[in-house]
Amino acid sequence: MKSEKKKRAKKTMVFLLALMLVWMGLPLQKASAASQVVFHDVPQKAWYAGAVYALVKEGVVSGKSAVSFQPNGLVTRAEFLKMLASVVLTPEEIAEYKELSIFQDVSSNQWFAPYVNWGFQAGIAQGHMEELFAPKGVVTREEAAVFMTRFADAFPLKAVLTEEEEEKLFSDAGSIAPWAEEGVSRCQRSGILSGYEDGSFRPKSETTRKEAAVLLCRLLDLAPMEEDQIPVPPPPSPEEQAREKILQLQKKFPHGAYWNLMGVGSHSGREAWEIVTKTPCNHWMYGSSYCNYYYGKSSVPVIGITESIQCLGFASMLSDQIFGKDAPVRVFYDFDKLRIGDQIRLTNAEHSMVVIEKTGDQITVAEVNADYSTCRISWGRKLTRRELANYGGAFYITRY
């Protein structure tokens, strides 16, 4: 009998001790995890760094990976709603909105479903059309203004729009959609959104992740983290440097433009490879007469010479801009070893591309002349390992 009592007493002590350890340990582990977040792409002195880390500490935003915030990345409509939902709901509470069926382009098996459904039911967001929400569309400045004002109205204990500034008439006020005028005005008078130095508001401009972080800090009246509390990131890795250069190149060679010399009378001090136009080539009529060209040694493994045009010229040019003209050139065949900035050469299809993102068995590429006719610039086509194999063979070129 005494033995049984001792066993029960021992079990009780073990349970209480375990409970005490859990009670004491969990907050310490959580605080430790939060303090260890260091984004390699957020400089300590960046104008947005304090806002980013303040929101991370509050659980409102997170990185794209453990070490990358991607501050220049664009925020989708669904992602913006996720940030707002994280202010007022726990993960368990937001999960209750998953199974609702409101929009045709938002199904319950998609990660953003509960956030979009919550946003609609809370009166924060509406669809682009009656039955469509466009969750993957990038949130514009005027949309962000409307989302934030509706959030403040729905949750006044979390966000208050206090009028602090006189109303400003933007030079492009006529471009602000009627449904967004009030939201833009309230955000401007509250000091959350301001215009640009030229007096414009640019309502259709897309919102970056760093801009969203600053806006949300202002909306929530959350003080940015002090500079001496912001971690100093380590020097960027070669891949992080490549990714940053790719973002710059996307602006210089925009998606949908044409890498050719159609209608160009003078280079205006630029080299030929720097020129883009709005006019497609017509290879069936003019051959390669108007195609752009480039001299780069990464084309040598493909055609044996440095001069190349169309897709190969564009890939070779991007490679030099990312890594430098003197970077070594090495050929390999292992898909698993592909990295940001590497070139892909489809042998049978005779087409070249540059990897701008890689996740598991899927890559995202930049390319020119995918239609073999127009020299159109394209950023963002996604291909799987299997799809590459279906082209009938490929090899890869790296400059790392």
pLDDT tens, residue by residue, 335-374: 999 999 999 999 999 999 999 999 999 999 999 999 999 9
Mean pLDDT of 298-315: 95
Phi, psi of 31, deg, nearest 5: -65, -40
* pTM across the whole model: 0.65
Quick check: 15 pLDDT over 70? no
> Residue 208's beta-bridge partner residues?
74
One domain, residues 261 and 186: no
- Which of 183, 198, 229 is at the close of a domain? 229
Residue type, 75: V
One domain, residues 35 and 120: yes
One domain, residues 377 and 332: yes
CA–CA distance from 233 to each of 6, 40, 63, 251, 347 (Å)? 55, 5, 14, 25, 41
Computed over every residue of the chain, the mean pLDDT equals: 89
Cα 389 from chain centre: 28
User: For residue 268, what pLDDT is reported?
Assistant: 65
Q: Which residue is associated with the tokens 């590497």? A: 342
- Residues whose CB is less than 8 angstroms from the CB of residue 269 and which lie 6 or more positions away in sequence, other chains included: none
Question: Of 247, 257, 256, whose CA–CA distance to 73 is shortest?
Answer: 247
- Which of 178, 211, 229 is at the close of a domain? 229
- pLDDT tens digits along 173-212: 999 999 999 999 999 999 999 989 999 999 999 999 999 9
Q: DSSP letter at 260?
A: B
User: For residue 266, what pLDDT is reported?
Assistant: 65
Question: CA quadruple 347, 338, 387, 377: dihedral positive or negative?
Answer: negative
- Locate 372 and state its tokens: 């073999």
One domain, residues 176 and 109: yes
User: For residue 267, what pLDDT is reported?
Assistant: 64
One domain, residues 254 and 199: no
One domain, residues 6 and 61: yes
Q: What percent of the chain has pLDDT over 90?
A: 78
Q: What percent of the chain has pLDDT over 70?
A: 90
User: For residue 1, what pLDDT is reported?
Assistant: 46
- Locate 268 and state its tokens: 């205006």
One domain, residues 35 and 65: yes
User: For residue 372, what pLDDT is reported?
Assistant: 94
Which helix (H) or strand (E) segment holds residue 98: the answer is none
User: For residue 19, what pLDDT is reported?
Assistant: 45
One domain, residues 82 and 175: yes
- Residues whose CB is less than 8 angstroms from the CB of residue 211 and which lie 6 or more positions away in sequence, other chains included: 48, 75
- pLDDT tens digits along 280-289: 998 888 888 8
One domain, residues 303 and 280: yes
One domain, residues 243 and 336: yes
Domain that holds residue 263: 238-398
Let me know: does 40 contact 234? Beta carbons within 8 Å: yes
One domain, residues 111 and 63: yes
One domain, residues 107 and 89: yes
Let me know: does 160 contact 219? Beta carbons within 8 Å: no
Q: What is the CATH number of the domain that holds 363?
A: 3.90.1720
Phi, psi of 330, deg, nearest 5: -135, 135
- Which of 202, 229, 256 is at the close of a domain? 229
Task: Name the domain count of the chain.
Answer: 2
Q: DSSP letter at 235?
A: P
Let me know: does 309 contact 291? Beta carbons within 8 Å: yes
Question: Of 66, 379, 61, 50, whose CA–CA distance to 207 is shortest?
Answer: 61
Give the residue ranges of DSSP H helices in 63-208.
77-88, 91-95, 113-121, 141-154, 181-189
- pLDDT tens digits along 153-179: 999 999 989 888 899 999 999 999 999
- pLDDT tens digits along 66-87: 889 999 999 999 999 999 999 9
CA–CA distance from 37 to each of 75, 78, 376 (Å)? 21, 24, 40
CA–CA distance from 302 to each of 274, 330, 346 (Å)? 22, 12, 10
